[in-house]
Amino acid sequence: MPLVLSLDKSLDVLEAIAGHSEGIGTRALAKQLRINLTSVHNIAATLKRRGYLRQDAGKRFLLGPRLMFLARHADFLNVMTESALPHVRALAKSVGESVLLAALVDGRIVRLVYMVSPQALAVQEPEDVGSGAYCTATGKVLLAAMSAHTLEAYTKETPLVRYTLRTIASSTKLRAELERVRHRGAAMTTDEMCEGVSGLAVLVSDPWRSIAAALGVGAPTVRFGHKRRQLVLNELRKTAALIARAWWSDRSKEKPA
């Protein structure tokens, strides 16, 4: 059976990088594989654009999130967290409020990064972000991203407890709310889980739709008026785009050859 030489070389590059847990540069890779440096660079750059590889600060190539998601690599959540961390830190510093990055993994809501506001009056998210997801902004974004089957299972397994007068405690009303969240691409809560606590969250986009993630800000309602919410929403969207680019690379500008 004839070989596709370009594919064979690409797999050689991928397998070689997988063998270097600390990463490897293109020159060392070309020397190891005895392949032309330009070819190695072009193959690695293409795999990086597709999300199969990533690069660290030293420009060394490592396995990327896309490859890990396909194989459900044990470290894929750690890779997501590491890549997103500087952007979450910058957002937390910019808005001065508590910031949460969470993901939907195999039907479960998993906290990736959480930073509490340094202010005296600050929002503290519970450790279990799944059980109260229906009355938090970040949770609503992830629930809205669930398949119909997974959402049905969630609503059956999770009692819709009424924490405040504003809590949505009806599955019918919750589904209507999630439809609005899908349409807007963002969710907002005011005094739903706790009196005096508000939240705002947006979806972190994934062009392959392999995994859903949400980025949210929690703040005391007294500090979260309309003008403030708009400013925070703009910052959330900017940061979500940066995180998406770090995870998947920006493919939106690519055009077919």
Write out the E strands in the chain: 53-55, 61-63, 98-105, 108-115, 186-190, 197-204, 212-220
Span 57-97, pLDDT tens digits: 889 999 887 777 666 666 777 878 888 999 999 999 999 99
In this prediction, residue 174 carries a pLDDT of 95
Report, in angstroms and rounded to the nearest whole number, the Rg of the chain calculated over CA atoms. 21
Return the closest-CA partner of residue 88 out of 251, 244, 225: 244
Percent of the chain with pLDDT over 70: 90
Topology agreement, domain 5-63 and domain 76-248: no
Q: Domain-by-domain residue ranges, the chain?
A: 5-63, 76-248
pTM for this entry? 0.74
Which CATH superfamily does the domain covering 76-248 fall into?
GAF domain (3.30.450.40)
Span 221-248, pLDDT tens digits: 999 999 999 999 999 999 999 998 888 7
- The 3-state DSSP composition of the chain as helix, strand, coil percent (nearest 5) reads 50, 20, 35
CATH code, 5-63: 1.10.10.10
* Range from 101-105, 223-227, 247-251 carrying the lowest mean pLDDT: 247-251
Span 29-41, pLDDT tens digits: 999 999 999 999 9
The two three-digit tokens of residue 169, written as one number: 């405690």
Q: How far is the C-alpha of 44 from the C-alpha of 65, rounded, in Å?
A: 14
The two three-digit tokens of residue 168, written as one number: 């949505």
